[in-house]
Amino acid sequence: MDIHGGVVAAAILIVTLAILVVRSAIRVMQSARRLSFYSLRRMHNRNAFRLFIFAIFLFACAYWLPFYGEPMIYVYFPPSPTITLTPTITLTPTITLTPTLSPVPSQTFTPSVSDTPTLTTTPFLPVAIESLFEGVVTPNPDAVFTAIQFSTKFDGLNPVDPKTVFELPIEKIYGGFDYNNTIPGVQWTALWYREGKLICYETKPWDGGTGGIGGYSECSQPIGGWMPGTYEVQIFMAYEWKGVGRFVVLDNLSTHTSTPTSTPFIERTVTPAATP
């Protein structure tokens, strides 16, 4: 059993004990009503009141333990790694542009978007995103994330057929990753950029475990819609940058047609000279 499971079990036991204390207080009050002596009846009522106060204290402890006590425990006892993550996916573009011109073309189609994404030197959180924080802002410094894999489908654990080059039209793109040494309740953020402009974001307290697979972020309605360009996704735990992934969106290649031009052939007629 890990720390999270132990905290949940302790909270359940405290709630059960509080219920038993309440029942005992009710029984003491009922027995006091049957007493004829005022001093004994008053003493029983005083004991019942103390039991009620103790039950309220137990309910408060059961509420405080999972929401505030567990993050404090992780500060003094950081969780140990639970799995060894070994990425086995090689990010290789899956679209190959094959020219369809005649043997002697005079026009070559060139994509308007380069397949070489530009790097962001120092990722950082915008101030507007920081103002939305609701969770704990002290993450585990040993928290790690694998490389982000992108796909238009997600099976609940991993992206389906991940790739780094996509073709319009697109409805939704998932960014999947595995994680380890994370702390539940710490604020985590995913920022989606297109050509350096923020188009999608997601920020909330981490609701996963301390390690596992199946983590993801999604973007379905980016600002301005899906357009050709270079995209970048940045992952943060509180204020610490933990991972980045990039992909490229191209225009619909089936709409581009090329018409080769041919060199005209000029026939020359030679007229013989007259005989003197």
The predicted-structure confidence for 152-208, as pLDDT tens digits, reads as follows 999 988 899 999 999 999 999 999 999 999 999 999 999 999 999 999 999 999 988
What is the pTM for the complete model shown? 0.49
The predicted-structure confidence for 255-265, as pLDDT tens digits, reads as follows 544 444 444 44
For 127-254, which CATH class?
mainly beta
Domain boundaries, the chain: 3-76, 127-254
Give the pLDDT band (50/70/90) at residue 70. confident
Report which secondary-structure segment, H or E, holds 112. none
